[in-house]
Amino acid sequence: MLLDENTRVLVQGITGRIGSIQTKYMLEYHTNVVAGVTPGKGGMRVHSVPVFDTVQEAVKETGANASVFFVPAPGVLDAFYETVDAGIRLIVVVPEHVPVHDVMKMKEYAKEKGVVALGPTTPGLLVPNLGKMGIMPASLFRPGRVGIVSRSGTLSYEFAGILSDHGAGQSTVVGMGADPVVLTNLVEILRLFEEDPKTEGIIIVGEVGGEQEEMAAAYIKAHVTKPVAAYIAGRLSPQGKRMGHAGAMIRGEKGSWDGKVAAFREVGVDILRSPIEAGQWVKAKGLTGA
């Protein structure tokens, strides 16, 4: 789902410290990284990956069809436009602190051009033993049949590690991003998991704040046929106080833990009170093994 053997990855900001390190890790995890882009650094090589000045040049020379961003937040909007205009249709935006009004412009442009984009503030995308785009620590993942979509990067790693310890691998792990506005909503990611033949069960890792989970519950009721479990972080979060993520704020009853849990329970989603319960859930649903 999203990333496969035909994915040819372009790393934006590849010559920076984070971009260079994460490129190394992606290459070590079999990711087909074919190019990097840093304006003014064309002609260099980073871990044997050729660097270009523009996305258009990189796409023309290497056939890149996906891109992961490690560029400073103020430059993300321009880089996004350039990447979409060059014909790339899968984009992972890792950086934090991208202005919300920029994300809204990016979201609309991606929809107009038929682009799938994750983030910002995302750990990225990983398909076990095939490749990854982003910063997920690959050692925690193993191939299997459970899809994970998470608003929290670190919790996505924790859930994958717990599932792996209980003999349940993952089909695809998606970090949707933690900001108030994200480029691809939870509903859209659930649709991809529902359509993916390699995914037989889905775990949603949500958190208080926003309405992503409530919208997802309505979608699950109408369209999802696979077993779904959900963990909602922030059960004891006080109202009106931002907890960690920009999107994790409760305002009155909107976005509360109780409200999200009630919405999921009403449509038959199994609620996990602790991440460790995911191990028992996959065994009960027969989702262990490859």
pLDDT score recorded for residue 160:
95
Residue spans of the domains in the chain: they are 9-118, 137-284
Instruction: With residue 192 as reference, give the H or E element that holds it.
Output: helix 186-195
Top-level class of domain 9-118: alpha beta
Whether residue 264 contacts residue 213, with contact meaning beta carbons closer than 8 Å, is answered with yes
pLDDT score recorded for residue 48:
97
- Cα separation of 231 and 240, whole Å? 21
Q: Which residue has the tokens 């003999």?
A: 167
pLDDT score recorded for residue 237:
64
> Average pLDDT for consecutive 10-residue bins of the chain (290 residues)?
95 97 98 98 97 98 98 97 98 96 98 97 96 95 97 91 95 92 96 97 92 94 98 75 53 75 97 96 91
Nearest C-alpha neighbor of 270 from the set 250, 290, 253, 287: 287
pLDDT score recorded for residue 216:
96
DSSP string computed for 116-135: EEE-SS--EEEETTTEEEES
Looking at domain 137-284, which CATH architecture does it have?
A: 3-Layer(aba) Sandwich (3.40)
245 is catalytic: yes
Q: What is the per-residue pLDDT across 29-46, written as a single tens digit (0 to 9) for each? A: 999 999 999 999 999 999
Nearest C-alpha neighbor of 174 from the set 233, 196, 37, 165: 196
Residue 8 neighbours by CB under 8 Å, 6+ apart: 32, 34, 35, 62, 63, 64, 65, 66
- Cα separation of 66 and 83, whole Å? 9
pLDDT score recorded for residue 167:
94
The encoded tokens of residue 150 equal: 């998470």
47, 166, 223, 245: which is the annotated catalytic residue?
A: 245
pLDDT score recorded for residue 246:
47
DSSP 254: B
| Global confidence as pTM | 0.92
Q: What is the per-residue pLDDT across 122-145, written as a single tens digit (0 to 9) for each? A: 999 999 999 999 999 999 999 999
pLDDT score recorded for residue 241:
57
